[in-house]
Chain A
């Protein structure tokens, strides 16, 4: 069981959701984050105040999957989130010590496998 963390452009979030759905990856959570990954800064001006905005809006997906689903999840994230420009984001895969489904008490693979499969 692995935790796949994908940080992508916020305007690509819908495409990623669609790709994950097509890859039959069902359980996920997403949150808005701000980050900086080497892309050029954005310059904004408000009256006399000019600022460089170093942090840009990103969306962070957290998806816990059983091992056979790791690669399809990564593929879905890459394909859907890539624009080719700096700032497309990162994917991190980390091992999971334990996963528990609160409703049933199932653990690990059982906990991350969607109901009905």
Chain B
């Protein structure tokens, strides 16, 4: 009885930190929008950014209505229950095992669902219709994210089995990365892919977006202990160390490959490093976290270099930066988890081979589920509505076609339309 009373008590310090952490993670989604917007051509800047904003709109709502319940109600092995539908019984009393109000816990988890949904957009930018993306985002946030979150966080079979995933290697990183691959295969390549140079239009956005993502990631990883306790502190500090080591490694790889250190490479390295430490943050020592950053950058770099030589237009390399890095991070725990640091479990290096086995199961099953579920979901949506803009619209640019705005409007040649004169019948470009 005393145990139950103890866990039901709200800790003010923990709550204060989690309120901040939640805001930090929410900021990551506009930061991702900026990062992605810089990587596309200028005529698609707004559409690309709006996919991230759209993910906030859609996923926050689906999460509150249904996703949170499916992810975090009960310990069903495959899927949660419906007790928390529409936030029923989510109030100020802490969820079992936490010391923060249940509402804060729910909001924190919501921001994870939001950014993960936004991440997938990187595979389909510059060609997917905005309306179709919103429908996809709504369904994906429930059918893919909430399910994987239940498995890894909410009491599902992976966490029950002993898989360690501190801040979302399974639902967030592998979930987004392998879903992105499936989405790229269904939506297919941009019309000019492989024929013309499709270059990033603003590397400064990319660096600033990457930097803001890193900043937000301190809340993402540092908040995933749901407290100000040791695991959170460890994850917070590792979130500084691992990406720094990934940056150094990426610089070296860039120097070897092209004799120059590239800015967009650096922004990519920041993301890769943050992703690498996401699953492992609270489980490995700072020393191993540094090794993870340096060594884990290698396979991601290889995929970034190799992917454009294929016909797969997984446009912004979500698979390489999130899927592969998440996979590496999840497995790394199996080797280098250290009871002395995490108080939970040792990895293979410290004599516990079964942890590696638990990690390997997650590293195999999560990508398969994310890929297959996303592939089927998009195929089904494609039966109901067109997923892509037409070639003509793609050539004009998605900003003008889908949103009727330009990112860099000059106003030259623009004539003010008064409401009385009306605009009907003269719209050349209709968003279809």
Q: B196 near A: Cβ within 8 Å?
A: yes
Q: A11-B395, A11-B396 are in contact. Are A40 and B196 (CB under 8 A)?
A: no
Within 8 A of A (CB), among B377-402: 392, 395-397, 400
User: Complex Cα distance A42/B396, Å?
Assistant: 11
What chain A residues lie within 8 Å of B396 (beta carbons)? 11
User: Complex Cα distance A52/B419, Å?
Assistant: 12
Q: B256 near A: Cβ within 8 Å?
A: no
What chain A residues lie within 8 Å of B397 (beta carbons)? 11
Q: A51 near B: Cβ within 8 Å?
A: yes
Q: A53 near B: Cβ within 8 Å?
A: yes
What chain B residues lie within 8 Å of A9 (beta carbons)? 395
Contact size class for B? 20 to 34
Q: Are the C-beta atoms of B414 and A51 separated by less than 8 Å?
A: yes
With both beta carbons as reference points, the residue of chain A lying nearest to B41 in the complex is identified as A11
Q: Are the C-beta atoms of A34 and B423 separated by less than 8 Å?
A: no
With both beta carbons as reference points, the residue of chain A lying nearest to B395 in the complex is identified as A11
Q: A44 near B: Cβ within 8 Å?
A: yes
Q: Are the C-beta atoms of A51 and B417 separated by less than 8 Å?
A: yes
User: Complex Cα distance A44/B413, Å?
Assistant: 12
Q: A39 near B: Cβ within 8 Å?
A: yes
Q: Are the C-beta atoms of B428 and A41 separated by less than 8 Å?
A: yes
Q: A14-B196, A53-B414 are in contact. Are A40 and B405 (CB under 8 A)?
A: no
Shortest CB–CB separation between residue B405 and chain A, in angstroms? 6
Q: Are the C-beta atoms of B426 and A41 separated by less than 8 Å?
A: yes
Shortest CB–CB separation between residue B52 and chain A, in angstroms? 20
Q: Are the C-beta atoms of B429 and A42 separated by less than 8 Å?
A: yes
Q: Are the C-beta atoms of B423 and A50 separated by less than 8 Å?
A: yes
What chain B residues lie within 8 Å of A14 (beta carbons)? 192, 196
Q: Are the C-beta atoms of A43 and B427 separated by less than 8 Å?
A: yes
Q: Are the C-beta atoms of B427 and A54 separated by less than 8 Å?
A: no
Binding site for A on B (CB under 8 A): 192, 196, 392, 395-397, 400, 404-406, 409, 411-417, 419, 423, 426-429
Give the top 4 A-B pairs by smallest Cβ distance, nearest first.
A55-B413, A40-B428, A51-B414, A11-B395
Binding site for B on A (CB under 8 A): 9, 11-12, 14, 34, 36, 39-46, 49-56, 83, 85
